[in-house]
Chain A
Amino acid sequence: MNARTIATEAKLLLIGIPVLLWTILPVYHMALFAISPKDSAFAGNLWPNHPTLNNFAVVLQQKHHYLNFFWKQMGNSLVIAVATGVITLLIATFAAFAISRLKVRGGRLVMNLALFTYFIPAAFLAVPMYRTMGLYGLLNSQWALILAMVTLASPYAIWVLKQASDKLPEELDEAAYIDGASALQLFRLVYLPLMMPSLVAVGTYALLLAWNEYLYAFLLLSKDTEVTLAVGLGNFLAADDSPWELLMATGLIYALPPAAIYYTFKRYMVGGLTEGAVKN
């Protein structure tokens, strides 16, 4: 190793170490609180002196009044995320197939409207959506959140699926039609199998979007037994004497499934997202 390579490595480390600290600190802090007894956590220790799993036991056994409905809320998050994923997948797959393969009239308009919806920040749509959900009588029903999340997830889902579908060769459809296949057979036997990777990416995207959602969840749902875990976590902020160590333990449990899914499907997610978000 000569002086020049050492200098290059040193420069890289000079970037790498701050990047590592910046990235990991809030996550480390969360984990530190989650495994520390209350006194030790609040003493400002940087290292868990007496690591314990007690906080997790308290959370899982719902032994604190903030956590009375932990399992219920976890279940709500799961049901809403899975429902959003499935419904978005159905709606978006149908729409993308109709627009891209069947070349339905007005397909371009529908695609543009969907894209427009995708680009309008969701936070701006929240209040109008909240009011109309009230008019529809859906407020405080989990359907309100599921439908809202489907509305937010499908535009991007349709767009990604349409992009992927446009890449399938035209000859496939022609061959299928010559063999006497109907549009539905084309959908089932040709389109679905070839689109599998994109379908996985899109379903995961919608699922994570719904699981992670906070704003819409707290607007549309209010009963403690109906809200998602995200809202349950936000409720810890209601009081100054909140049990932080329990909040962080709950937060860690809440954050694990999406992180696991993200890293498992990273190949699909990053590919789909980078292609989807920005096209040159």
Chain B
Amino acid sequence: MSTAAIIATTKAPTASTGRAWAATQFWGVVLVTPYVLVFLVFVLYPVCYGFWIARRPETFAHLFDDPIFARSVANTLVFLVVGINLKMAMALMLSNFFVQARRWIQWLAMLFILPWALPSIPTILSIRFMLNPEWGIVNSLIFRLTGDDGPNWLNDPGLALALAILVHIWKSLPFWTLILISGRLAISKDLYESAAVDGATSWQMFRYVTWPSMRTLYLTCTILSMIWTLGDFNSVYLLTGGGPADLTHVLATLGIRYLRLDSVDLSMAAIVAALPLVLPLVYFMMKRLSK
């Protein structure tokens, strides 16, 4: 710390303001140090350690030979491509709905953020129970209405993955809708009024007024949502636990699976293998934010 202060002093512009500037720099260094320490000890060192554990090529060969890894990558891509586009399209549509000036819609908006405001564990477990094949409420209803047994929802890999995606959408849709609402509200009302005078249909208003002003925001949201979805552990783990037969794992849960199997090197390798997917997105967001 003192060396930093000395360096700061020697580079001070003039002697008179120099001392004040050095004092400022000294306190700056002191105050930023706690975070820098947290970063070094709990981010940088663990990351380096992780790379070191996953340093051997054999580990990756072993990882790529595991059919569960390939399956998890495929699941993750489905999650990203289907889940996020569906979610963002719904959020865009709903942002248009929630800006309507009606008392009941404002009340609904309050309720609508409930999935985001509540912790994941109890709500996802509640959904898991709803889907229980024997006494879950969904299959009870199906039985009452049709007299047939419903599907064994979470025991079918395809269905289970689809449901995990739905859980993810249920949980995070309110957040993205809120963001798109604020983007939507930033558009000048005059534009809509003059479009209405010109006799524009609601589709034309969306196409030529709403969309052009929201395109950038929508893209940024999609990228950010991709990053967060890549790390969505809860939706999959709490709903399916990766099952049946480990067929619904995604990259976020795969590391934990290997950890449970006591192969730390595979666990780290799985995370390193996910980086080519994560880093370009992170780079994009960093560029966006530092503009």
| Chain A residues close to B by CB (< 8 Å) | 12, 15-16, 19-20, 22-27, 29-30, 33, 42-44, 46, 90-92, 94-95, 97-99, 102-107, 110, 112-117, 119-132, 135-136, 147-148, 150-151, 154, 158-159, 177, 182-184, 187, 211-212, 214-215, 219, 230, 233-234, 236-237, 244, 247-248, 250-252, 254-255, 258-259, 262-263, 266, 270, 273-274, 277-280
Contact = CB atoms under 8 A, between A and B. Distances in A.
Given A42-B135, A97-B31, A233-B121, A16 B108 contact: yes
A114 B39 contact: yes
Given A20-B108, A230-B119, A214 B238 contact: yes
Interface stretch (B57-65, B81-89, B122-130, B187-195): B122-130
Interface in B207-245: 216-217, 220-221, 224, 227-228, 230-234, 237-238, 241
A120 B121 contact: no
Interface residues of B, number: 101
Nearest to A97: B31
**Chain A facing B: main interface SS:** helix
A22 B118 contact: no
Interface of B: 4, 8, 20, 23-25, 27-32, 34-36, 38-39, 41-43, 45-47, 49-50, 53, 93-94, 97, 100, 102, 104-105, 108, 110-115, 117-123, 125-127, 129-130, 135-137, 140-141, 143-144, 170, 174-175, 178-179, 182-183, 216-217, 220-221, 224, 227-228, 230-234, 237-238, 241, 251-253, 255-256, 259, 264, 267-268, 271, 274, 278, 281-282, 285-286, 288-291
B119 A91 contact: no
Contact of B129 (A22, A29, A98): A29
Per DSSP, chain B at the interface is helix
| Across the A-B interface, the 7 shortest Cβ-Cβ residue pairs | A121-B231, A251-B122, A44-B140, A104-B28, A102-B28, A128-B50, A128-B46
